[in-house]
Amino acid sequence: MDTRIERIKALEVVSKRLEPDGVQRADWNQKVQAYADQFIDKLPDAKGYVWPEKVRDWPQDCPIGETPRELDELLQILEREVDEVGLNPASGAHLAYIPGGGVFPTALGDYLAAVTNRYSGLYFANPGAVQLENQVIRWMCDMVGYPADALGNLASGGSIANLIAITTARDHMGIKSRVVESAVIYLTAQVHHCVHKAIRIAGLGEAIVRTVPMDKRFRMDANALRAQVESDKAAGLKPFLVVASAGTTDTGAMDPLDAVADIAEANDLWFHVDAAYGGFFMLLDDLKPTFSGIERSDSIAIDPHKGLFLSYGLGAVLIKNVRALYESHYYRANYMQDAQALVDEPSPADLSPELTKHFRGLRLWMALQLYGLAPFRACLDEKRWLARYFYEEIQKLGFEVGPYPDLSVMIYRYLPASGDPNAFNSQLMELLHRDGRIFVSSTTIDGVFWIRLAVLSFRTHLSHIERLLAMIRESVEVLDKIWLQGA
Ligand SMILES: *Cc1c(COP(=O)(O)O)cnc(C)c1O
């Protein structure tokens, strides 16, 4: 008997444990599905945030080793240590940061993508998968008013989408290392911090970054931008990139995209729009004018895991000139020579830093196709009106508000009869977090502490806004009393 074959056969017996039979799969499927169903059914009453009384070092009790564990045990750990504590982004009670929610077809798409494991990085490997991903990217390009030959890439989120855009801008505008120190980038103090990260990661850390002044509504002041660009050019510097926001994270502000586009065109700047939060509000006809000028940009970051309510893990970058995106990201390796046979359709691997990748387009395609666009539109419209409703109602409780919400994010703060408003509002914030029924977050702008409202979970409805208003009313009463005693 050939000992090699004996050995191989013995190993095969054990390695085949990685392929569960139909009975085992049915059992696991049923348990996972039951867990998921129970999770979803409990969401209407779930808190937006569960304050962790004490954080346990639970992996100690459950080391990774040779012995397999039962799925029931793992689901119990998941429930106790992960799904019942901290922030609950699946809940409609999540009104902090930028919520999303996680529409169910995301799970279906991910499940199938995981089981079938199609290779969606190269057209050669799977023309259908690449076409599917490119279809959803082209649909987004069409929504923002880009031409039919524009394309982009599906990334894991807005941060990577912004990074891909900024890298492309750097290369297309000829910013080689020796000119970085005189290269100039324009943005406002309200730009998302991932843009600063992207600038550094893209090797532009030594470039000059101009923080363009804003108007009272936290929108980029276009006149100030023009003046700054002109004076930088006169000083012999190399202005090359302006980053505008279509919906800032802090206040939901929309930069004046058309005016920025004029300046970018006149001065040969790459015009990038960070629409990670706000972009999908373009699906609402009456909000389209707010986005006017976005179609004149060179690149856009937009997050389906925010504005289309998908589970986390999907942001998109849209680039008008695909050639530029390609020039920054393609590679021809010898071991990939077979992949060059087909060039009919651009491949994600040539348009992003990734090679082997999650077939993440499937989840978005599933959601859009299973529901059609109408419920997404209605949902975005509802969220926008909920923010407007809150804006009016919170003022009736004596709160000062920031700008009227262009989209669905706004800021507000209570002005106590006496004492430091920042201290009052930060205590109020803590009370609201300890309550946790509805979860909101805060920000500080120019030294002023503001509480934020960000309505974007597809599960957030009027009852949540009413609950939040009631919570705030109760908490302010409690605090007011304490403050009066203190005074
Ligand atoms: C959320 C957000 C980002 C970052 O996107 P991630 O998906 O969290 O990486 C960038 N810009 C804006 C305006 C955002 O709201």
> Which of 188, 197, 281, 303 has most ligand 1 atoms within 8 Å of CB, for mutation?
303
Beta bridge partners of 35: none
For residue 192, the CA-to-ligand 1 centroid distance in Å is 7
Beta bridge partners of 410: 453
pLDDT for res 70: 97
What are the pLDDT digits (tens) for 469-486?
999 999 999 999 988 887
pLDDT-derived band at 340 (thresholds 50, 70, 90) equals low
Which atom of ligand 1 is nearest to 159's Cα?
A: 9
pLDDT > 90? residue 487: no
Q: Are residues 153 and 189 in the same domain?
A: yes
Q: Are residues 134 and 267 in the same domain?
A: yes
72 belongs to a structural domain: no
DSSP state of 79: I
For residue 478, the CA-to-ligand 1 centroid distance in Å is 35
Contact 314, 293 (CB under 8 A): no
Q: Are residues 298 and 395 in the same domain?
A: no
Q: Is 157 in the pocket of ligand 1 (CB under 6 A)?
A: yes
> Which of 87, 94, 159, 188 has most ligand 1 atoms within 8 Å of CB, for mutation?
159
State how far the Cα of 325 lies from the Cα of 322, in Å rounded to an integer: 5
pLDDT > 90? residue 53: no
What are the pLDDT digits (tens) for 187-198?
999 999 999 999
Q: Is 276 in the pocket of ligand 1 (CB under 6 A)?
A: yes
Q: Are residues 342 and 460 in the same domain?
A: no
Which atom of ligand 1 is nearest to 160's Cα?
A: 9
Q: Are residues 138 and 159 in the same domain?
A: yes
Q: Are residues 478 and 383 in the same domain?
A: yes
Contact 69, 274 (CB under 8 A): no
pLDDT for res 303: 98
For residue 195, the CA-to-ligand 1 centroid distance in Å is 9
For residue 94, the CA-to-ligand 1 centroid distance in Å is 16
pLDDT-derived band at 349 (thresholds 50, 70, 90) equals very high
Q: Are residues 172 and 292 in the same domain?
A: yes
Which atom of ligand 1 is nearest to 315's Cα?
A: 7
Contact 321, 281 (CB under 8 A): no
Which atom of ligand 1 is nearest to 275's Cα?
A: 13
For residue 349, the CA-to-ligand 1 centroid distance in Å is 23
Q: Is 164 in the pocket of ligand 1 (CB under 6 A)?
A: no
DSSP state of 412: E
Contact 261, 277 (CB under 8 A): no
Beta bridge partners of 443: 450
User: Which of residues 371, 392, 412 is at a domain's end?
Assistant: 371
For residue 158, the CA-to-ligand 1 centroid distance in Å is 5
Q: Once rounded to an integer, what is the mean pLDDT over residues 432-453?
A: 96
State how far the Cα of 459 lies from the Cα of 464, in Å rounded to an integer: 9
147 belongs to a structural domain: yes
pTM over 0.85: yes
State how far the Cα of 35 lies from the Cα of 210, in Å rounded to an integer: 50
Q: Are residues 389 and 303 in the same domain?
A: no
Which atom of ligand 1 is nearest to 249's Cα?
A: 15
State how far the Cα of 245 lies from the Cα of 253, in Å rounded to an integer: 8
Contact 112, 336 (CB under 8 A): no
Q: Once rounded to an integer, what is the mean pLDDT over residues 118-134?
A: 96
Buried b (16+ CB within 10 A) or exposed e, 357-377: bbbbbbbbbbbbeeeeeeebe
325 belongs to a structural domain: yes
46 belongs to a structural domain: no
Q: Bin 65: left if φ > 0, else alpha if -120 < ψ < 50, else beta.
A: beta
14 belongs to a structural domain: no
Structure tokens at 346: 């651009």
Classify burial at 150, counting beta carbons within 10 Å of its beta carbon; exposed 0-12, middle 13-18, buried 19 or more: buried
381: CATH:
3.90.1150.10
pLDDT > 70? residue 339: no
More confident residue, 53 or 403: 403
For residue 197, the CA-to-ligand 1 centroid distance in Å is 12
Q: Is 270 in the pocket of ligand 1 (CB under 6 A)?
A: no
Q: Once rounded to an integer, what is the mean pLDDT over residues 4-24?
A: 97
Contact 109, 366 (CB under 8 A): yes
Q: Dihedrals φ, ψ of 464, to 5°?
A: -65, -40
The structural domain count of the chain equals 2
Q: Are residues 367 and 384 in the same domain?
A: no
225: CATH:
3.40.640.10
Q: What average pLDDT does the structure give for the chain?
A: 95
357 belongs to a structural domain: yes
Q: What percent of the chain has pLDDT over 70?
A: 98
Structure tokens at 159: 């941060």
pLDDT for res 331: 86
State how far the Cα of 299 lies from the Cα of 162, in Å rounded to an integer: 9
What are the pLDDT digits (tens) for 155-204?
999 999 999 999 999 999 999 999 999 999 999 999 999 999 999 999 99
pLDDT-derived band at 54 (thresholds 50, 70, 90) equals confident
Residue with the smallest CA separation from ligand 1 atom 3 is: 158
Q: Is 192 in the pocket of ligand 1 (CB under 6 A)?
A: yes
Contacts of 232 (CB under 8 A, 6+ apart): 184, 208, 210, 239
Q: Are residues 329 and 450 in the same domain?
A: no
State the residue range of the domain holding 251.
108-371
Q: Are residues 201 and 341 in the same domain?
A: yes
From the list 299, 295, 239, the residue with the least C-alpha distance to 267 is: 239
For residue 219, the CA-to-ligand 1 centroid distance in Å is 17
Identity of the highest mean pLDDT range in 326-330, 338-342, 470-474: 470-474
pLDDT for res 338: 66
What are the pLDDT digits (tens) for 375-400?
999 999 999 999 999 999 999 999 99
Beta bridge partners of 243: 272
pLDDT-derived band at 211 (thresholds 50, 70, 90) equals very high
CA of residue 7 relative to chain centroid, distance? 50
Tokens 């459950």, residue located: 62
Q: Is 259 in the pocket of ligand 1 (CB under 6 A)?
A: no
Neighbours of 245 (CB within 10 A): 30
20 belongs to a structural domain: no
* H helices present in 235-319, as ranges: 257-267, 304-307
DSSP 166-232: HHHHHHHTT--GGGGGGEEEEE-TTS-HHHHHHHHHTT-TTSEEEE--B-TTS-B-HHHHHHHHHHH
Q: Is 416 in the pocket of ligand 1 (CB under 6 A)?
A: no
Contact 137, 316 (CB under 8 A): yes
Q: Is 98 in the pocket of ligand 1 (CB under 6 A)?
A: yes
421 belongs to a structural domain: yes
For residue 159, the CA-to-ligand 1 centroid distance in Å is 6
What are the pLDDT digits (tens) for 426-440?
999 999 999 999 999
Q: Are residues 477 and 378 in the same domain?
A: yes
State how far the Cα of 363 lies from the Cα of 357, in Å rounded to an integer: 14
pLDDT for res 52: 80
Buried b (16+ CB within 10 A) or exposed e, 111-145: eebeeeebebbbbbbbeebbebbbebbbebbebbb
pLDDT > 50? residue 342: no
Q: Is 159 in the pocket of ligand 1 (CB under 6 A)?
A: yes
User: Which of residues 328, 348, 371 is at a domain's end?
Assistant: 371
pLDDT for res 51: 84
Which atom of ligand 1 is nearest to 305's Cα?
A: 7
Contact 35, 81 (CB under 8 A): no
CA of residue 180 relative to chain centroid, distance? 29
pLDDT-derived band at 343 (thresholds 50, 70, 90) equals low
Structure tokens at 321: 């000139």
State how far the Cα of 91 lies from the Cα of 96, in Å rounded to an integer: 11
User: Which of residues 311, 339, 371 is at a domain's end?
Assistant: 371
What is the sign, positive or negative, of the torsion defined by CA atoms of 248, 327, 151, 145?
A: positive
